[in-house]
Amino acid sequence: MKMQRIFGGALLVLGAALFLYGNYVSKEVEEGRQKIEIAQDKLDHGPHIPHLRPVPRHMEEMERESAQSRIDQKKEMIDNYEMLATWLHGGGIVVFIGGALLLAFTFNDRKKPLR
């Protein structure tokens, strides 16, 4: 009985920790999305200042394609972290509820009278 209470308490703490870590990951994902949005905006609408030295147009296009591929890779990575945050939230809630139920049932257990 005592071991079940300890296990239930540990599940409560673990569930809360998972949920809070999911919140942290979600916040970081949002900051990453903002940074990518700024980078994409700079790439799309950046200043088109004439170069002081002539640069072939194909070289400029290669640089843009390279920057766009890096942005796309970061978007994919952020999507993966967003999925991780969702799983952490869901898993944290499930573990927390499981720990709460286990803890509640151990305190609710009545002693049986001896015959």
Distance between the two ends of the chain, CA-based, in angstroms? 21
Interaxial angle between packed helices 2-45 and 57-108, expressed in degrees from 0 to 180 and rounded to the nearest 10: 160
Domain ranges of the chain: 2-44+57-108
Q: What is the pLDDT of residues 43-83, one digit of tens each?
A: 888 666 555 556 667 777 788 888 889 999 999 999 999 99
Can you give the pLDDT at residue 58? 72
